[in-house]
């Protein structure tokens, strides 16, 4: 079904706007998926900061070119669904990879992270990355480890001095108790 020039301009503008807002895009072939499966996919991506849209390949290619983000030609052949990642890319990639196991018709073609093209294999690797919060916690843990060790060493030294002083106090108290118990 042919669409009007006006609608094509609108679609092109929408694609450009979505590309501007997104951190990355993941392209997939959706042949064989039912409408309800596509809706399930959309509902799954929404809370993760993603959206799924069936694209017109030629118009999407034009939008990519205008944004300076070319992708290999073979990614824009056949039915193409574009997942826009407005938040982080790994959660959206993970959701697509997980759903792909349930929906046989969904095949990842590749994508873009920022302006860098990534292959389907790389999308799978991105899906295995931990979340941003986990990565930040790991970095902070690594930064804090030496400081924690220094604090432990200092505290250990202080503890040893306190133990010596306590032993001396105990010794003095024991001597005073022994003197008080001796008959005069």
| 51-64 per-position pLDDT tens digit | 999 999 999 999 99
Same domain, 152 and 136: yes
Of 93, 108, 129, the position where a domain reaches its end is 129
Same domain, 167 and 119: no
- What number is the average pLDDT over the span 70-92? 90
Same domain, 11 and 58: yes
Same domain, 170 and 80: no
pTM across the whole model: 0.71
d(CA 3, CA 58): 13
User: How many CB atoms lie under 10 A from the CB of residue 176?
Assistant: 10
Residue 1 pLDDT grade (very low, low, confident, very high; cuts 50, 70, 90): low
Same domain, 125 and 152: no
Q: Return the C-alpha torsion angle 121, 73, 85, 63, nearest 10.
A: 170
Same domain, 162 and 115: no
Same domain, 90 and 78: yes
Same domain, 74 and 24: yes
CATH assignment at residue 64:
3.30.70.1730
d(CA 25, CA 51): 10
Q: Side-chain half-sphere of 64: how many Cα atoms within 13 Å?
A: 27
- 116 in helix, strand or coil? strand
d(CA 33, CA 78): 14
Same domain, 14 and 90: yes
Same domain, 117 and 180: no
d(CA 139, CA 20): 29
Angle between helices 5-21 and 57-67 (to 10 degrees): 50
- Domain encompassing residue 158: 131-184
- What number is the average pLDDT over the span 79-87? 92
In a 10 Å sphere around its CB, with 0-12 CB exposed, 13-18 middle and 19+ buried, how is residue 25 labelled? buried
Number of domains in the chain: 2
Of 129, 157, 173, the position where a domain reaches its end is 129
Percentage of the residues of the chain whose pLDDT score is greater than 90? 37
Q: What is the pLDDT of residues 128-147, one digit of tens each?
A: 887 778 878 888 888 877 77
Of 85, 106, 129, the position where a domain reaches its end is 129
Same domain, 85 and 174: no
Same domain, 137 and 48: no
d(CA 153, CA 142): 18
- What number is the average pLDDT over the span 1-27? 89
Provide the pairing of β-strand 80-85 with 107-113. unpaired
Output the six-digit token pair for 6.
């006006």
| Among 121, 109, 51, CA closest to 80 | 109
């Amino acid at each position: 079904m042919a669409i009007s020039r006006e609608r094509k301009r609108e679609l092109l503008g929408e694609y450009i706007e979505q590309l501007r807002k997104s951190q990355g895009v993941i392209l997939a072939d959706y042949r064989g998926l039912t409408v309800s499966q596509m809706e399930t996919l959309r509902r799954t991506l929404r809370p993760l900061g993603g959206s799924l849209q069936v694209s017109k390949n030629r118009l999407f290619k034009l939008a990519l070119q205008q944004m300076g983000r070319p992708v290999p030609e073979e990614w824009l052949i056949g039915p193409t669904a574009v997942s826009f990642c407005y938040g982080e890319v790994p959660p959206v990639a993970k959701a697509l990879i997980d759903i792909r196991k349930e929906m046989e018709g969904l095949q990842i073609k590749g994508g873009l992270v920022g302006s860098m093209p990534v292959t389907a294999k790389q999308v799978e690797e991105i899906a295995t990355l931990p979340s941003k919060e986990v990565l930040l916690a790991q970095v902070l843990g690594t930064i804090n480890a030496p400081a924690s060790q220094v604090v432990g060493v200092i505290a250990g030294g202080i503890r040893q001095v306190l133990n010596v002083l306590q032993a001396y106090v105990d010794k003095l108290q024991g001597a005073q108790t022994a003197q008080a118990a001796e008959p005069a």
